[in-house]
Structure 1
Amino acid sequence: MMTSSDKMDNSMETEEESMESNEFEKTKISRMRTLVERQDPSSKEVDDFTFRRFLRARDLDVEKASAMFLKYLNWKRNFVPNGSISPSEVTHEIEQNKMFLQGSDKKGRPIAVLLAARHFQHKGGVEEFKRFIVYIFDKIFSRLPPGQEKFIIIGDLEGWGYANSDIRAYLGALSLVQDYYPERLEKLFVVHAPYIFMTAWKIVYPLIDHKTRKKIVFVENKRLKTTLLEEIDESQLPETLGGTLPLVPIHDS
């Protein structure tokens, strides 16, 4: 039987390990900052939290994380030259009224809800869809409380059919999440997934990296509310999923 003294010793060991880990990360961040700033002076404006996310995405490998971050800076300069995406750049996506932002989980992480059956290909194409993803992320990040860096997505596939299947858009979103917004997604709950969705899923799944795969949870219909309530209070769930909040379109949030 573990005594109170044993518990205290374990607690102290855990605290010491945590402190050592933080110091180790700080050293890595410092090395990464030096390496990146040498190649792109604009990175001097970037905070340590951002460097840490890219480091963790590459298992604290400074060289790999630096290459990933430099690629991100170049992409942002070209894809988001004005620093943000305006609603006028994603009009077709907004018209579909498929993305909502409301509430937060028990740790204060913002919750975004996607109604996937409302997504259809349009003349704006994949490029507008990718701009919409950036637009969404900026909205979500503006809702992050101090000390929090991650968010939750609930992807509701009720009514999804082949007309909604858009593999190029799915791959575009996946690339953005993995390459340019690492360590931002805490969890993606996939609910009401129809059997026919698995055809598209089999195409996308092999391209999802190991870290992202662990964040994707397919929720059984019979355990839907129970599973969501493990991490989200009922008062923060949308009415469509058994909660009390009305859906708020992300462009109105």
Structure 2
Amino acid sequence: MERSKVGIMRALCDRQDPSTKEVDDLMIRRFLRARDMDIEKASALFLKYLAWKKTVLPKGHIPESEIANDLSHNKVCMQGHDKKGRPILVIVGNRHNPSKGNPEEFKRFVVYTLEKICARMPRGEEKFRAIVDLQGWGYSNCDIRGYLAALSTLQDCYPERLDKLYFVRAPYIFMTAWKVIYPFVDTNTRKKIVFVENKKLTPTLLEDIDEAQLPDIYGGKMPLTPIQDSH
């Protein structure tokens, strides 16, 4: 059933955009799953993605020189993997300051991050985990427009890549921002989001991540590595 839908969708999209040939069946399957196996909706999303990719990733990657400001704040780290081999992102919320950034650069930074985490996935794995650490997050870090742009990129261009997203150490004021963002989170993504209580932080993360792979700031043994320094 799933395989036949992949074939139908591939043929349909190939007629409209021959670059469909360059993607594997797993990608087409992810777009189908993101639209509950509805070929028409999945094809529309996928064709939109192909057009987006030609514009945003003409070189196939985002050069670090184009996102130097965002990289300099070390706001995203990447190291370790969960018990199933999925790579882990750690996003440090209080290192993002929209007043000192450029919205277009931030969008490119999001794409750079997603491309890099996807490239880190071992063969046969399609998903990653993310920890969003909001300790010390305040209004100067709040960037609704940036968050919505990042969410849109994740959901529309990298569907079914996120396995689980943990919000940790979230201050009460973050919930004000979350109420604005939440309606834009699609149903599939909502199921993957967990707010972790402070007192259950380490045990919750250890359910899915071995101590050796868990970042040291959460009681594990893995030092945080800024994404641009991780290999």
- 1:192-251: CA deviations, max 9, x gaps? 000000110010001111111111100000111111011001111111111011111100
Counterpart amino acid of residue 80 in structure 2: G
Counterpart amino acid of residue 8 in structure 2: R
User: Aligned runs of 1:59-138 on 2, under 5 Å?
Assistant: 59-122=36-99, 124-138=101-115
Residue 212 of structure 1 corresponds to 189
| Distance across 1 between alignment mates of 2:165 and 2:57 | 25
Counterpart amino acid of residue 111 in structure 1: I
Report which of the two structures shows the higher radius of gyration computed on alpha carbons.
1
Residue 179 of structure 2 corresponds to 202
For the pair 1:177 / 2:162, whether they are aligned, the reply is no
Q: 1:140 Cα deviation (Å)?
A: 0.9
Checking the alignment, whether the CA contact within 8 Å between 1:92 and 1:122 is kept in structure 2 is: no
- Secondary structure of 1:193's aligned partner: coil
Q: 1:142 Cα deviation (Å)?
A: 1.8
Q: 1:123 Cα deviation (Å)?
A: 5.5
Q: Give TM-score scaled by structure 2 length.
A: 0.98
- Secondary structure of 1:154's aligned partner: strand
Q: 1:124 Cα deviation (Å)?
A: 4.5
- 1:77-136: CA deviations, max 9, x gaps? 111111110100101100111110000000000001011111001565221111011111
When the two structures are aligned, how many residues end up with a matched partner?
Answer: 230
User: Aligned runs of 1:146-157 on 2, under 5 Å?
Assistant: 146-157=123-134
Residue 188 of structure 1 corresponds to 165
CA RMSD, 1 decimal: 0.9
How many percent of aligned residue pairs carry the same amino acid?
62
Q: 1:42 Cα deviation (Å)?
A: 1.3
Residue 19 of structure 1 corresponds to none
Checking the alignment, whether the CA contact within 8 Å between 1:117 and 1:159 is kept in structure 2 is: yes
Q: Structure 2, unaligned stretches of length 5 or more?
A: none
Checking the alignment, whether the CA contact within 8 Å between 1:126 and 1:172 is kept in structure 2 is: no
